[in-house]
Amino acid sequence: MGSNMAENHPVAFQWVVDAQRNGARVIHVDPRFTRTSALADTYVPLRPGSDLAFLGGLINYILDNGHQLSEYVAAYTNADVIISDEVALPDDLVKLLSGYDPDSGTYDATAWRYAGVEQPVVAASGKRGRHPDRGGGETPRGREVEEAERDPTLSHPRCVFQLLKRHYAGYTPERVAELCGVSREQFVEVAEALCANSGREATSAFVYSVGWTQHTVGAQYIRAASIVQLLLGNVGRPGGGIMALRGHASIQGSTDIPTLYDLLPGYLPMPQAAAHPDMASYLSALTAHKGFWGDIDAYLVSLLKAWWGEAARADNDFAYGWLPKLSGDHSTYRTTLAMLDGDIAGYLLLGQNPAVGSSNGRLHRLAMANLDWLVVRDLVEIESATFWRDSPEVESGELDPGEIATEVFFLPAAAHTEKDGSFTNTQRLLQWHEKAVEPPGDCRSDLWFVYHLGRRIRAKLAERDDPTDLAVRELTWDYPVHGPLAEPSAEAVLAEINGVDAHGEPLAGFAGLAADGSTACGCWIYAGCYAEGVNQPARRTPRWNQDAPASRWGWAWPDNRRILYNRASADPAGRPWSQRTAYMRWDAEQGAWVGPDRPDFPASRPPDYAPPADAAGPAALRGDDAFVMQSDGKAWLYAPDGMVDGPLPTHYEPHESPVRNGLHAWQASPARQRLAHPHDPDNPGSTDPAPGPPDPFGPHAPPFPFAITTYRIAEHHTAGGMSRFGRRLTELAPELFVEVDPVLAQRRGLVHGGWATVLTARSAVEARVMVTDRLRPLPVGGGVIHQVGVPYHFGYGGRATGDAGNDLLSLALDPNVHISEYKAATCDIRPGRRPRGAALRRMVDEAADGHHHKGAG
Amino acid sequence: MGLADLLGSWPVWRQLRGPDRLGLSQAVTSPATQATASPTAEADHVAASVCPFCAVGCAQRVHVRDGEIAHIDGDPASPVSRGRLCARGSSSLDLVAGPARETTVKYRAPYARQWSQLDLGTAMDMIADRVIAARDASWQERDADGHRVNRATGLAALGGAVLDNEENYLIKKLWTALGAVQLENQARI
C-alpha cells in the first residue's frame, strides 16, 4: 500500500516476483493502477487519503473475527496494560481523544498515560522527552514501568486490547468500502487473505513508500499498519514486518546520521531549550525505564567525546552546552517561510532541488530570491541554481533578475564514482563505494567541501577571541587528506563514526560504550561498522558463498543484524512459532539464542528470565521483552507517548478533500500543522466540503472537485537533477503528462495527447493529457470521486522539461514529522494550456478567491 | 573466401555443427557483433560501487580504461540486486559522464542577469566569510523566554539523502558546532 514498488524500486521487486512464484500472494492497494498492480494477484483501487480507514477496517476485522495471534499479542505487546481513566476514546465517533486543546490545536500526551505509573513512559522514537514533569527530575531507572496496572485476561474495559476494539468498532467493512471507494467484497477478500497468511505457520509483510508518509496523518498510517502486524504476530519474524521503501541512495543514512534539525546521530533527539538546559535534564527526560534507551547517557557522552575530544570533560557536562538548543519546529518549510520574512541570510543546497521537489515550488523560488547568498552543489545546473534567471516567476513578471540581490555560488559536485564512501540502503545495510576516477575540473566531493569549508572557518575564527567560537575552535577536525585535490579520507570519518574504546581501539559494537567519557563514538547505532579496524561496509562476499541472511555483504546496523526484534521470531518460551517460520530460538544446552541472524536480544538471557528489582537499562529486560528499544519492552498497540496527534490512529480526511469525513465529526486531523502564508492559500470549499454525495459535475460542485495525487515514474528520479538533464532517461520520458479517466476527460473536454491545465489555489500546471483506465472513478459516499494524477519530476531546466507538479500543493503537514501532504489534495482541470505572463497569476488568484470558471461539463 | 569460410558464416551451418544447437548465441551472431568487444572486457580497473539513485542499493561495477569510466554495470555477486539495474541505474554512465555535467564554478553577483566565472579557492573563501558573517549577525545566546540556545538562526542547509554517510556526518558536525539548527534533507520532503 502507498507504494509503486515495481516502478520506483524495480530491482527490489524481483524478490516479490520470486516470492509470488514460490506461492506468495501479492496484493496491491493503491489509488493508481501501475506496473505493481499489473503484477499483483489482487489489485484494489482506493481513494487517495483513505488508507487509514482501510487499515482501521483491517484492525476491526482481525479483532471482530478473533484472528489475532493471541499468545504473541499477550506476551510481546502492551495489549494488557490498563490506561489511565483520564483517557476517553471517541466511542461515539464524535468526541476527540482526550488531552486535546482546541485553542492551541495540540494534544497533551500526559493525558494518555499508563495507569499506576507516575512517570510518563518514554517513547523509543518520535516526539519524545517533552514532558515537563520529567525534565529536571529524577532519572527513571529500572522496573518502575512494571508498576503499570495490567489485565492478562485482556478483558478490563480500559486495557489497551479493549480500547482498540472500541476505537475501531465503527470501521466495519461496509463503512470502509464506502469511504475508500472499494467494494465490500474486495475489502473482505484482502482482510481474509491477510489473516489466512498470518499466524504461527505463515507471515505477511507490508510494503509502503511515500504514498503513506506524505499525508497530514502520515505517521499514523504507519502506526496503523504496525497495529495490524502486531495483532497478527508479523513483526520480528522472517517474511513479516513493515518495509519502508525509501527513495534515495542514502536517505536512510541521512536519517541515521541526520542532516535533520531535530536529531543527533543515532536518533538522539536534539536538545530543547526549555526542557533540556543541561545534560541532567536531557537524560532525565529521555532515559528509558528499561531496554537499550536506558543507556542513552553512554550514547550521548560518546558522541560529545567524538566531536569535542579533550575539550569534552566530566566537569563541563562533556561540552553539552555547546549543542545549540531548539524551540519547537525548525523544519524545512518553516525555514522557507523565514526566508520570505528576510530572516535567513545564507542557504546551502547539497544535492537537493526545492524549486521543483518541495510543496508549492513558487513559494520556495520566491523565498530563495530573498536570500543574501545561496550555495548550490550539484552535478548539473538544477532549477534551484537558476531560479533568478528562468523561473516561472521571472516569466510572469513577479521576479526580475535586476531586482534580486541574492548571490549564487554554483559548485559542481563529484559523482559517486569519483569518491569513496558508504550509502545506507532501505534495509539499513551500509555498502561502500570506491572511487574509480578523479572528479573533473572544479568538481569536488561534499566531504571535500565540508572539510575544507570547516578548515577555512576555523582558521578565520582562530584569529579572533570570541567565546561563542569555542564550539567551532575546539571541534575535532583533523582528518588525513590525500591525492592531488587534498581529499579527506572517508575511511577515517567512518572510523570516527564507529568509535573507539578507552585504549583507542575500534569499538566492536555499541555494547562497549560508556558514559564516563572513556569512549568516543560518532553514531552509536553504527558502532561496529569499523570493528577490528576493518571497513565492514566494503565487504563483498559473493552471494553464492553466503549464509542465509548474506551477513558478509556490507554491514547492517545495529550489530550487523538483518531482522530487527528477532526475539519475537520465537514464542515466549523461546521455541519457533512453527518449523515453517523458524528463525531464532533459545538453545538451553548452549545457554544462548541461536539461528541464522544475530539475536536482537541479550545473547545469553533465557526466555524465563526475571530481572532483579534494581536492574536498569538492558539488564532490566525480562526474558520475553522482545521489543528491546521500548522502555517497557513491549510493542505499542497504544502509544502513550511519541505521537503528537493521538495514541491510536484515527481516520481523518486530507487537509483538502472532495468529501466529508464519513467516520468522525472532525473533518481533518485537528492536530495537523498548517503553515499559513499569503502565498499558500487553501482551495476554497475543500477544507470543509459540503455534506452529501460528491457530485463533481453537478450544479453545486465545489470549485476544486477532483482528488489530485502526485507521484514518480520509473524513468525519472525525484526532482529530476539526476535524470532530466541526461540523454537516456529523457528519451524514455521526455515531458510532463497528466493522467485522467475517460469519464473525466469526456466531461471536461480533455483530449488524449492534447493539453490540459491542472489548477489549485497555489498554481496552474500544464501537461499533456493521458486518458487512461489506470485511474478509475471511485464510488464514495453515494457519489463519485475522479482522480487526477501528476508526476512531479519535471521543471523548467534540463532536457525533459515541464511544469513542476508539486507547485500545486500546499504546506499542510504531519505534525509529528513536518512532512507535507503531497499525496492527497483537491484540484480542477481544464482543457488547453495555461496562460503566460501576468495572466497566469490572475487565473490562479481568481481561483484562490473562489471566482470559478466552470469549464466544459 | 573459401567454401569452408562461406559455410562457416551461414548461421544454420554453425547451429548444426557448433555447440549452440538452439541458435540462441554464437551461431547467430553477425560479423559486426563478433568484432564488438564488451566495454567491460578491456578495463584496466574495476571499482566496486553502489547505484546512486533509489535506496535499494544495487551493486555496480565501474569499469575504468585509460583513466576514464568506460562502462557501469550491475554486480552479479550482490545478494541485494543479483547483477540487475533498472532504467535509472542503467543510465548511471550518462549521469556521471554525460554532456549536462557541470565542471566549473559559477558565480551570480547580486542583480546580475548571467553567471560569471570564479576560482574555486576564491569561492570557498567567500563562502567561509559569509557563513561567519551570517552566524555573527544572527547569533542568539538566549531565546525570548531566557533559555540558553547558543544558535545561529540566519543559516540553513538542505540536502544529504544522496550523499555518503561520511559526508552527512561532517555536515551535521560542523553545522551543529556553528550553532546552525536549520539543517534538513529529502527525508523531510
Q: If you write DSSP's letter for every residue of chain B in order, what string do you get?
A: --HHHHHHT-HHHHHHHSS-TTSSSGGG--HHHHHPPPTTTT-SEEEEEE-SSSTT--EEEEEEETTEEEEEEE-TT-TTTTT---HHHHTHHHHHHSTT---S-EEE-TT-SS-EE--HHHHHHHHHHHHHHHHHHHEEEE-TTS-EEEEETTEEEE--TTS-HHHHHHHHHHHHHHT--EEE-GGG-
Which segments within A205-289 are labelled E, that is strand?
206-208, 242-244, 263-264, 268-269
Question: Average of pLDDT values for A538-551?
Answer: 97
**Residue B34 near chain A (CB below 8 Å):** no
Q: Which residue in chain B is spatially nearest to A547 when comparing CA positions?
A: B79
User: Rounded CA gap, A737 and B47, in Å?
Assistant: 38
Question: Average of pLDDT values for A224-243?
Answer: 98
Which pLDDT score is estimated for A298? 98
User: Chain A closest CA to B155's CA: distance in Å?
Assistant: 5
More confident residue, A153 or B5: A153
Q: Do A416 and B49 touch (CB under 8 A)?
A: yes
Dihedral-angle region of residue A328 (phi above 0 means left; psi in -120 to 50 means alpha; beta otherwise): left
Instruction: Say whether pLDDT at A746 is over 90.
Output: yes
Which pLDDT score is estimated for A93? 38
**Residue B78 near chain A (CB below 8 Å):** yes
Q: Which residue has the cell 562533556?
A: A318
Cis peptide before A354 (omega within 30 of 0): no
User: Chain A closest CA to B94's CA: distance in Å?
Assistant: 6
Residues of A in contact with B118 (CB under 8 A): 409
User: Rounded CA gap, A195 and A198, in Å?
Assistant: 5
Instruction: Say whether pLDDT at A540 is over 70.
Output: yes
Alpha-helix residue ranges (DSSP H) falling in A437-562: 446-461, 470-473, 490-498
Q: Which residue among B47, B57, B184 places its CB closest to the CB of A261? A: B184
Q: Which residue in chain B is spatially nearest to A550 when comparing CA positions?
A: B79
* ipTM greater than 0.95: yes
Give chain B's domains with CATH numbers: 3-35 (no CATH), 45-97 (2.20.25.90), 121-188 (no CATH)
What's the alpha-carbon Rg for chain A, to the nearest Å?
A: 27
Question: Average of pLDDT values for A448-455?
Answer: 98
Which pLDDT score is estimated for A132? 52
User: Rounded CA gap, A342 and A354, in Å?
Assistant: 18
Residues of A in contact with B145 (CB under 8 A): 273-274
Instruction: Say whether pLDDT at A856 is over 50.
Output: no
Residue A851's pLDDT band, with cuts at 50, 70 and 90, is low
Residue A665's pLDDT band, with cuts at 50, 70 and 90, is confident
Q: Of A350, A331, A348, which is closest to residue A261 (Cα–Cα)? A: A331
pLDDT digits (tens, 9 = 90+) for B23-67: 888 788 888 888 877 777 788 999 999 999 999 999 999 999 999
Instruction: Say whether pLDDT at A121 is over 90.
Output: no
Residues of B in contact with A352 (CB under 8 A): 158-162, 185-186, 189
Q: Which residue among B75, B120, B186 places its CB closest to the CB of A442? A: B120
User: Chain B closest CA to A392's CA: distance in Å?
Assistant: 16
Instruction: Say whether pLDDT at A18 is over 90.
Output: yes
pLDDT digits (tens, 9 = 90+) for B119-160: 999 999 999 999 999 999 999 999 999 999 999 999 999 999
Q: Do A380 and B100 touch (CB under 8 A)?
A: yes
What's the alpha-carbon Rg for chain B, to the nearest Å?
A: 28
More confident residue, A131 or B17: B17
Which pLDDT score is estimated for A854? 45
Which pLDDT score is estimated for A95? 46
Q: Of A800, A799, A798, A809, which is closest to residue A762 (Cα–Cα)? A: A809
Which pLDDT score is estimated for A666? 87
Which pLDDT score is estimated for A89? 57
Chain A, chain B: beta-carbon pairs less than 8 Å apart:
491
Q: Do A429 and B57 touch (CB under 8 A)?
A: yes
**Residue B85 near chain A (CB below 8 Å):** yes
More confident residue, A711 or B3: A711
Q: Of A819, A788, A817, which is closest to residue A805 (Cα–Cα)? A: A788
Encoded amino acid at A751, one letter? V
Q: Do A324 and B48 touch (CB under 8 A)?
A: no
Question: Average of pLDDT values for A254-275?
Answer: 97
Encoded amino acid at A569, one letter? S
> Which of B46, B51, B53, B56 should be substituted to probe chain A, the one whose Cβ sees the most A Cβ atoms within 10 Å?
B56
Q: Of B70, B75, B46, B72, which is closest to residue B59 (Cα–Cα)? A: B75
Which pLDDT score is estimated for A139? 64
Q: Which residue among A251, A347, A404 places its CB closest to the CB of B161? A: A251
Question: Average of pLDDT values for B61-80?
Answer: 96
Instruction: Say whether pLDDT at A510 is over 90.
Output: yes
- Structural contact between residues A640 and A654, judged by C-beta atoms closer than 8 angstroms: no
User: Chain A closest CA to B26's CA: distance in Å?
Assistant: 27
Residues whose CB falls within 8 Å of the CB of residue B181, separated by 6 or more in sequence, listed in order: A261, A270, A324, A326, A330, B151, B153
**Residue B146 near chain A (CB below 8 Å):** no
More confident residue, B39 or A203: A203
Q: Which residue among B108, B181, B188 places its CB closest to the CB of A818? A: B188
Phi first, then psi, for residue A364 (nearest 5°) are -70, -35
Question: Average of pLDDT values for A832-848?
Answer: 95
Q: Which of A94-98, A269-273, A786-790 has the lowest mean pLDDT?
A: A94-98
Q: Do B72 and A417 touch (CB under 8 A)?
A: yes
For strand B182-184 and strand B155-158, is the pairing parallel, antiparallel, or unpaired?
parallel
Question: Average of pLDDT values for A713-738?
Answer: 95
Question: Average of pLDDT values for A270-281?
Answer: 95
**Residue B158 near chain A (CB below 8 Å):** yes
Residues of B in contact with A427 (CB under 8 A): 57, 80
Encoded amino acid at A343, one letter? D
Q: Do A11 and B181 touch (CB under 8 A)?
A: no
Instruction: Say whether pLDDT at A31 is over 50.
Output: yes
Paired residues of A42 in beta bridges: A27
Q: Do A446 and B167 touch (CB under 8 A)?
A: yes
Which pLDDT score is estimated for B29? 84
Residue A88's pLDDT band, with cuts at 50, 70 and 90, is low
Q: What average pLDDT does the structure give for chain A?
A: 94
Which pLDDT score is estimated for A857? 34
Q: Is A506 helix (H, G, I), strand (E, B) or coil?
A: strand
Question: Average of pLDDT values for A149-174?
Answer: 94
Q: Which of A149-163, A531-545, B20-34 has the lowest mean pLDDT?
A: B20-34
Instruction: Say whether pLDDT at A855 is over 50.
Output: no
Residues of B in contact with A556 (CB under 8 A): none
Which pLDDT score is estimated for A614? 87
Q: Of A687, A650, A684, which is closest to residue A667 (Cα–Cα)? A: A687
- Structural contact between residues B40 and B72, judged by C-beta atoms closer than 8 angstroms: no
What proportion of chain A, given as a percentage, has pLDDT over 90?
Answer: 89
- Structural contact between residues A2 and A210, judged by C-beta atoms closer than 8 angstroms: yes
Q: Kindly report the three-state secondary structure assignment for every residue of A421-471.
A: EEEECCCCEEEEECCCCCCCCCCECHHHHHHHHHHHHHHHHCCCCCHHHHH
User: Rounded CA gap, A286 and A642, in Å?
Assistant: 11
Q: What angle do CA A165, A168, A170 make, to 5 degrees?
A: 120
Residue B12's pLDDT band, with cuts at 50, 70 and 90, is confident
Which pLDDT score is estimated for A92? 39
Residues of A in contact with B49 (CB under 8 A): 416-417, 433-434, 436
Which pLDDT score is estimated for B112? 98
Instruction: Say whether pLDDT at A152 is over 60.
Output: yes
Q: What average pLDDT does the structure give for chain B?
A: 93
Question: Average of pLDDT values for A24-33?
Answer: 97
Q: Of A95, A70, A99, A104, which is closest to residue A83 (Cα–Cα)? A: A99
Give chain A's domains with CATH numbers: 5-92+143-244 (3.40.228.10), 673-848 (2.40.40.20)
Question: Average of pLDDT values for A448-469?
Answer: 97
